[in-house]
Amino acid sequence: MVRAARNRLDGATMTRPFTAPGLEPELVHSLAQQCAQWFGPARVPLPRAPGKGELALVESALGLLVAKRMRPRGWRARLPGPTPALRRAARAFAQARALAAAGLATPEALAVLPLGRASVLLTRYVDAPHPWEHLGAGGTSAELVAALARDLARLHAAGFRHRDLKASNLLVRRARGGLEIVCTDLDGLARPAVLTERTRLRDLARLSMSFESAAARAAGVRAGAWPELARRYLEALRGTASEARELARLLARTRRWRERAIRAHLARGDSVR
Q: Give the residue-averaged pLDDT of 48-74.
A: 92
pLDDT at 17: 59
Q: Do the beta carbons of residue 235 and residue 243 sit within 8 Å?
A: no
Is the pLDDT at 260 greater than 60? The verdict is yes
Q: Looking at domain 131-268, what is its CATH homologous superfamily?
A: Transferase(Phosphotransferase) domain 1 (1.10.510.10)
Distance between CA atoms of residues 96 and 190, nearest Å: 9
| Cα dihedral value 69, 171, 108, 82, nearest 10 | 20
Rounded CA-CA distance 213/20 in Å is 37
Tens of pLDDT, residues 101-110: 999 999 999 9
- Confidence (pLDDT) at 75: 62
Q: 78 pLDDT band (50/70/90 cuts)?
A: low
Mean pLDDT of 190-194: 94
At the top level of CATH, which class does the domain 7-124 belong to? alpha beta
Report the C-alpha gap between 183 and 168 in whole angstroms.
Answer: 10
Question: What does the mean pLDDT of the chain come to?
Answer: 89
pLDDT confidence band for 10 (50 / 70 / 90): very low
Residue range 215-226: mean pLDDT, rounded: 94
Instruction: Tell me the C-alpha distance between 265 and 273, whole Å.
Output: 10
Residue boundaries of the structural domains of the chain? 7-124, 131-268
**Separation between Cα atoms, residue 122 and residue 70, nearest integer Å:** 11
Are 199 and 217 in contact, with CB atoms under 8 Å apart? no
Name the band, by pLDDT with cuts 50, 70 and 90, for residue 80.
Answer: low
pTM of the model: 0.89
| Range 229-258 average pLDDT | 94
